[in-house]
């Protein structure tokens, strides 16, 4: 089966400028620095990493909201960044995004009906005009909101309900892929589970593929078929849910797993405790060789000299010279 999405060596650097009148570029934020992955039809790829590692930048480039510095992404085999005309329009319907903050991502002066129906205004070819109101009511129903509330405003809804409005809007044009950029991070834990369940139901009903971004490995586990772990603009390990959670080989993945809450109190004491020391280095001047080496307890001289490639080491790709399985959570 051909991949729905194939990302090849994607790079996004932001120039850092100094000076008031004559702006000079003095460096670059290497937000996304050579990221490759594939996404199959109906599949979920979890993307996890600490704040600032480039997750949202990756999402923005994939959604064509920021141009890439270099690299390519293919949607059903077609190069996304050079599409024009009807093909570009089609792509903009096929890929949608749900953002983290349901408070700021919805226009407070628009009714829910206008918010969810706005994609039809932008893409009138997607549905005949007379059908829009009916479609919006259907969409509200699909995400578990009362279709009678179509004329209410965002402030009249709770955080979880607002995220459902954002999801309804993303669904309006019947996309194939939804990029979810931390869609539940701003919600209470109990509400998080409800929204995650909704996303899982919608996925099986509509055959959606998700790129699901989160800070924390625990959030993406149940939804993800595969998981990519990012550190300072790069994927350091990628594999199936089982490979990443039960057979992690990269020290960074192992450290993230060690911080995941364990529900069963009997197992809690048996978890490996790995404490990461130090902060994430600046993406303007990342460490030579392995970017994780300044925080890695296994670092050797070769780690500073040679960048470890993301290649199959012990069953799945891991970017560590000393990749070695360590089961962190029993």
Contact positions vs ligand SF4 (CB under 6 A): 251, 290, 292-293, 296, 298-299, 303, 308, 320-322
Does position 13 interact with ligand ATP (CB under 6 A)? The reply is no
Provide, rounded to whole angstroms, the least separation between the CB of residue 252 and ligand ATP.
14
CA-wise closest residue to 323 among 248, 258, 260: 248
Provide, rounded to whole angstroms, the least separation between the CB of residue 187 and ligand SF4.
33
CA-wise closest residue to 95 among 172, 178, 207: 178
Q: Residue 132 or 292: which CB sits closer to ligand SF4?
A: 292
Q: Residue 91 or 296: which CB sits closer to ligand SF4?
A: 296
Could you tell which of ligand ATP, ligand SF4, Mg ion, none binds residue 51, using a CB distance below 5 to 8 A set by kind?
ligand ATP
Q: Residue 104 or 197: which CB sits closer to ligand ATP?
A: 104
Provide, rounded to whole angstroms, the least separation between the CB of residue 294 and ligand SF4.
8
Which stretches of the chain are assigned E, i.e. beta strand? 5-18, 24-39, 44-48, 70-75, 78-79, 95-98, 177-181, 209-214, 226-231, 234-240, 311-313, 316-318
Beta pairing, strands 226-231 & 44-48: parallel
Question: What whole-number distance in Å separates Cα of residue 62 and Cα of residue 181?
Answer: 12
Does position 215 interact with ligand ATP (CB under 6 A)? The reply is yes
Residue whose token pair is 């995220």: 163
Could you tell which of ligand SF4, ligand ATP, Mg ion, none binds residue 292, using a CB distance below 5 to 8 A set by kind?
ligand SF4
Is residue 175 within 8 A of residue 94, CB to CB? The reply is yes
Q: Find the part of the chain contacting ligand ATP (CB under 6 A) among 38-46, 51-59, 114-122, 252-260.
A: 51-59
Q: Residue 188 or 306: which CB sits closer to ligand SF4?
A: 306
Does position 51 interact with ligand ATP (CB under 6 A)? The reply is yes
Helix (H), strand (E) at residue 208: none
Is residue 222 within 8 A of residue 298, CB to CB? The reply is no
Could you tell which of Mg ion, ligand ATP, ligand SF4, none binds residue 29, using a CB distance below 5 to 8 A set by kind?
ligand ATP
Is residue 256 within 8 A of residue 229, CB to CB? The reply is yes
List contacts with ligand ATP (CB under 6 A).
14, 29, 31, 49, 51-57, 215, 283
């Amino acid at each position: 089966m051909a991949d729905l999405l194939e990302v090849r060596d994607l790079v996004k650097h932001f120039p850092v400028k100094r000076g008031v009148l004559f702006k000079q570029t003095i460096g670059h934020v290497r937000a996304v620095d050579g990221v490759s992955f594939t996404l199959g039809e109906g599949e979920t790829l979890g993307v996890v990493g600490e704040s600032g590692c480039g997750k949202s930048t990756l999402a923005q480039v994939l959604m064509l909201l920021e141009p890439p510095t270099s690299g390519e992404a293919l949607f059903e085999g077609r190069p996304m960044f050079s599409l024009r005309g009807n093909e570009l329009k089609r792509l903009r319907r096929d890929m949608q995004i749900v953002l983290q903050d349901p408070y700021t991502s919805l226009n407070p002066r628009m009714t829910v009906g206008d918010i969810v129906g706005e994609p039809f205004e932008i893409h009138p070819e997607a549905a005949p005009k007379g059908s829009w109101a009916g479609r919006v009511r259907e969409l509200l129903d699909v995400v578990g909101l009362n279709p009678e509330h179509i004329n209410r405003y965002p402030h009249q809804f709770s955080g979880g309900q607002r995220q459902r409005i954002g999801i309804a809007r993303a669904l309006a044009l019947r996309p194939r892929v939804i990029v979810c950029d931390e869609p539940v991070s701003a919600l209470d834990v109990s509400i998080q589970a409800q929204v995650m369940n909704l996303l899982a139901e919608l996925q099986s009903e509509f055959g959606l593929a998700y790129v699901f971004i989160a800070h924390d490995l625990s959030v993406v586990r149940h939804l993800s078929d595969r998981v990519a772990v990012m550190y300072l603009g790069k994927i350091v390990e990628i594999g199936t849910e089982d490979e990443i959670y039960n057979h992690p080989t990269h020290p960074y993945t192992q450290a993230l797993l060690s911080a995941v809450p364990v529900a069963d109190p009997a197992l809690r004491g048996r978890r490996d405790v790995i404490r990461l020391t130090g902060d994430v280095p600046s993406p303007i001047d990342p460490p030579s060789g392995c970017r994780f080496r300044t925080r890695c307890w296994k670092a050797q001289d070769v780690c500073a000299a040679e960048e470890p490639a993301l290649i199959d080491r012990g069953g799945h790709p891991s970017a560590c010279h000393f990749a070695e399985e360590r089961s962190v959570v029993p």
